[in-house]
Amino acid sequence: MRRRPPPRFAQRVALEARLLAALEPALARAEPDDAAASAAEGAPAWRCVLRGPPHTAYEGGAFALRLSLPPTFPYCPPRVRFATPIHHPNIAPDGAVCLDLLTPTGWSPSTTLPSMLLSLQQLLASPNADDALVGAVARQYTHARAAFERQARAFTAQHAAQHAAA
């Protein structure tokens, strides 16, 4: 028998839904992902599109994300995956993200989903090569920055441009 989440969970999810609906277009846009929510036994889920930060190799791109909330939210972090391929040391080819904020020890119940999206945008602007998921990309970022920038721009143009127009 499936346990129902506590009432506070529903209140917090409703608040987060309102906050996501009011996102700054320069940051991201989000819409409910009912198919993912059904597959995850009703866990709230969103499809988000995160804008590439200005003055970076990701500028002009729009990166699709999948965002789902565990039943223990807001006490545990949301699950976030990039659906758009991206050349970044902290984002794996399968879309997994290495960001302290998204770990149980780095997450705070007071963190909102829009502020988490802002942190992801900041990660795009300032990769952390010392805590990388993709070692080869981290080495390129550290030792061949111009090549990294060219490849990141090429990935953005190839994979993230179609989302930007939408």
**How far apart, in whole angstroms, are the C-alpha atoms of residue 54 and residue 142?**
21
**How far apart, in whole angstroms, are the C-alpha atoms of residue 77 and residue 103?**
6
Q: What angle do CA 100, 103, 105 make, to 5 degrees?
A: 90
Residue of 20, 57, 69, 98 marked active site: 98
Which string of DSSP letters, residue by residue, matches 97-109?
B--GGGSTTT--T
76 labelled catalytic = no
Q: Name the residues annotated as catalytic.
A: 98
